[in-house]
Structure 1
Amino acid sequence: MTLQRLDHLYAMLMPIDLLRVVDIGANPMNSIAPYRDLLDRGMCCLTGFEPQQDTLVTLNAQKGPNETYIAAAVGDGTSHCLHLYHGSGLVSLFKLRAKTVGHLRGLRRAARNTGTIDIKTQRLDDLPQLGRIDFLKIDIQGAELMVFENALRSLESVIAIQTEVNFYPLYDAAPSFGDIDVFLRQHGFVPHSYMHIEKRIIQSRFSGELTKEDATQMLDGDILYLRDLSGIADWHSDDIKRMALLADGVYDYADIVLRCIDVLQSRGLLQQDQIDTYLALRDTL
C-alpha cells in the first residue's frame, strides 16, 4: 500500500466523516496497529480500551489528535478476576490452562503468574459516547466472545472485525475459534482472511535435539471478518466508502476496493478519470 494511492482514494471517495475504529485491548505488543496509516493521515478516529495502567500511560504519551484511550476492560458489565502474567500479552479474564503450558514449548516463562486483580467490565452497548463503530479490532486473550455477545447494538454498524481466536485451548473455559465463528456468522459476518497464526512445538523429552524442528500446533491467531460483501449492492454508499478505505488503507486488498468502486460508480458517485488514476497508482506503485 502506498500513501499516494491512499490519499487519492480518500479524495476520490470524499467520505462525509472519519472512519471510526474501536480497538479493545489496545496494547501494541511491539507491533504497529494495522490502521496506523489511516490514523496518521487523519482519515480515522480511534477509541482504544486498555486496562493495564503501564500500557495506558505509554499509549497516552504517544497519542495523536484523533486518538482516545480509556482505562477500562470491555466485557459483560460484571466484575471479573483479571489474571496477570509475566508476559503481558497473556493477561486475561481467564486463567491459563496448565496442561497447555506444559504441552507446548515456549510458554512457561511468560505464563508465570504475577497476581490477580478484581476488575469491573463494561459492555460496549452501555457506552453510547462511542457512537457508530465501523471497524472493531479486538485482542483480549479469550474474552472476545463475551464482548460480542454484549455488543449486539454496536455490531449493527460494524463492517469489519479483526479478532483474535484460539485454535488450541490456552485458557480454562475460554471460547474457541468455532464458538466465535458461529456467533459472527449468525450476525452477518463471514471470515475473509487470516492475519496471523501462531504455532508452537509440542513438548517432549527430545525437544531441542534436532537442528531444525518446525512448530506444527496452531495455538491462536488473528482473523478478519467482513460484513458479507455479496450483498454490498444493498449497502449505504457511506458504508461502501468506509469499506474501500479499510480494504486499501489497512489490508491492501485490491479486489474489495475495486468492488466498492464498481458499485459507487454505478450510482453516479465516481468519475471514470478518478478511477483510472487510482488503477494506475495501484498498478505502478
Structure 2
Amino acid sequence: MLVPIPDPRPAAAKPADMRFPVPISAKRPLFPNHLFRPRSSIGFSARLLSSPLIEKMLQRQTPAVKASVKNRIQAMSKFFDIIPKELRPKLKIVDVGAADLGPGTDPYNALLSYDDVVVFGFEPNSEKCQQRNDNSGENKKYFPKFVGDGSNRTFHIMQNPFTSSLYEPNDSILNCFQRMNLPLISSEEVETICLDDINELDAIDFLKIDVQGAELDVLRGANKLLSKTLIVHTEVEFIPMYKDQPLYSDVDIFLRERGFLLHRFIDIFSRQMKPMILNNDVFSKGSQIIYADGAIFVRDFSNIKNLSNEEILKTSCILHDVYKSLDFVGFLLNEFDTRNNSTFLHAYLNMCNSRNADSKG
C-alpha cells in the first residue's frame, strides 16, 4: 500500500519515492557485486533475504529497487531445480488489485520464470489494466473488474489512485500520523464480482489480494474457492485506516475457520505519530504498526495428510521461491518422500547445505 503525502518541497529536493525517500547513490552500488556470483544459491540467498543488514539497506528504497535486489537474490535458486520436469505441476495465480508498481514488484514474481504459470489478474482501473495486458504474455490475463462480495458499492477515489478503496478514509485515525492523510477526490457507484462466480477459476495455488481495506470482502466472495486454495498473500491493516473496514484479526479468523494458518508477515509499515518528528524525518518509522503489505496464510500443516502430492509440490515451490521458507519446505518434502518412497528431502537438504558451505568458501 502506498499513501499519498503531498510535499511542498521543489521537485529537485523530493526523494524518488515518497514512502522510501532515500534514493540509491549513483556512485556506489547498493550491494557488492560479489554477493551475486553464480556460486551463491539456496542457503546463501536465504541468509541474504533474512539478513538485518539487507533489510535495513532496503528499508527506504523505492519498491522497484527493493524488487530488483530481492529478485536477484531469489534468482540464485529455484525449487523445481530438484524436481524432474514430468513431476512439476502447473501453477495458477490470482492477483486481486493488480496495479503495476514497476518491473518485478509483484510478490509472485519469482514464479513467473516457469513456463506453465498462469496468472489471472483484476485491476478495476481500465487504463492500468490495459497497460498490464499490453506488457504481458499469453499466460497472464488482466480484467478491469472490481472483485468483492458481489454487492453494489461506492468506490472512493483518492488523490493517490493506489489508495482508492471501497471504504471511506478514516481521517480521525490517519490524522494522528505524520503525512498519512488520504485526500478524497470523488466517488462512484460500482458493481463487484465474486471470485466464486468466475468460470475459469476452479482452483487457486497463490491468491494475492491488495484492495485497500476490502480484503475480507474478496475472501467472502471466494468462499468455495478457498477450499481449493493453497496460499493466500493479502495486505492487512492493524488499525482502521478506512471507516468500518475489517482488520487483520477479522481476516485471520475468517481464514482459520477455513483451514488456514498464518505463516508470516511481509513488510510491516509504521509512521511516526504527531507531533513527534525524530531525526527531522517525517517519513521514518514510528512505534505504532499500521498495516502489512503481506500476511501470508498457508493450509493448516497439522493436517498435511489432506494435501495431495501435487499440492505439496506446489506449496513447496511457492514457499521456497517466493518466501525462502526453507524449513517449511523440508517439512513438506518429508511428507512427500514418506508417501512416495522418494528422496527429494535429501536432495533439497544436500543442495542447501552444500551450496551454503560453498558460499562461505
Q: TM-score, normalised by structure 2?
A: 0.72
Q: CA deviation at 1:135?
A: 1.4
Query: 1:269 & 1:45 partners in 2: Cα distance?
Result: 30
Q: CA deviation at 1:101?
A: 2.6
Structure 1 residues 217 and 209, CA gap change in structure 2 (3 angstroms): closer
SS in structure 2 of the partner of residue 195 of structure 1:
strand
**Aligned with residue 189 of structure 1, among 244, 250, 260:** 260
**Structure 1 match to 2:208:** 137
**Structure 2 match to 1:113:** 184
Residues 1:243 and 2:315 are matched in the alignment? yes
Query: 1:77 & 1:89 partners in 2: Cα distance?
Result: 22
**Structure 2 match to 1:216:** 287
**Root-mean-square deviation (CA), in Å?**
2.0
Residues 1:233 and 2:305 are matched in the alignment? yes
Is the contact between residue 79 and residue 316 of structure 2 (CA under 8 Å) also seen in structure 1? Answer: no
Q: CA deviation at 1:277?
A: 3.9
Query: 2:351 & 2:139 partners in 1: Cα distance?
Result: 28
Structure 1 residues 72 and 135, CA gap change in structure 2 (3 angstroms): same
Is the contact between residue 76 and residue 146 of structure 1 (CA under 8 Å) also seen in structure 2? Answer: yes
**Structure 2 match to 1:167:** 238
Alignment of 1:63-212 (within 5 A): 63-108=136-181, 111-204=182-275, 207-208=276-277, 210-211=279-280
Percent identity, please.
27
Is the contact between residue 5 and residue 282 of structure 1 (CA under 8 Å) also seen in structure 2? Answer: no
Structure 1 residues 154 and 5, CA gap change in structure 2 (3 angstroms): closer
Residues 1:257 and 2:257 are matched in the alignment? no
Is the contact between residue 81 and residue 119 of structure 1 (CA under 8 Å) also seen in structure 2? Answer: yes
**Structure 2 match to 1:37:** 110
Residues 1:279 and 2:349 are matched in the alignment? yes
Q: For residues 93-138 of structure 1, give each alpha carbon's deviation from its aligned partner in whole angstroms, at most 9, with x where no partner exists.
A: 0010111231111223xx1222112211001111121221121110
Q: CA deviation at 1:163?
A: 0.9
Query: 2:210 & 2:119 partners in 1: Cα distance?
Result: 15
Is the contact between residue 39 and residue 66 of structure 1 (CA under 8 Å) also seen in structure 2? Answer: no
SS in structure 2 of the partner of residue 178 of structure 1:
helix
SS in structure 2 of the partner of residue 172 of structure 1:
coil
| Paired letter, 1:208 | I
Structure 1 residues 234 and 267, CA gap change in structure 2 (3 angstroms): same
Query: 1:44 & 1:3 partners in 2: Cα distance?
Result: 19
Query: 1:5 & 1:166 partners in 2: Cα distance?
Result: 31
Structure (1 or 2) with the greater strand fraction? 1
Query: 1:125 & 1:135 partners in 2: Cα distance?
Result: 15
Query: 2:315 & 2:247 partners in 1: Cα distance?
Result: 27
Q: TM-score, normalised by structure 1?
A: 0.90
Q: CA deviation at 1:23?
A: 0.8
SS in structure 2 of the partner of residue 225 of structure 1:
strand
Structure 1 residues 146 and 209, CA gap change in structure 2 (3 angstroms): closer
Aligned residue-pair number: 278
Residues 1:56 and 2:129 are matched in the alignment? yes
Structure 1 residues 5 and 22, CA gap change in structure 2 (3 angstroms): closer
**Structure 1 match to 2:99:** 27
Q: Which moved more, 1:256-265 or 1:2-11?
A: 2-11
Q: Structure 2 regions of 5+ residues with no counterpart?
A: 1-73, 357-361
Q: For residues 9-43 of structure 1, give each alpha carbon's deviation from its aligned partner in whole angstroms, at most 9, with x where no partner exists.
A: 3437813x411111110113346112112112224
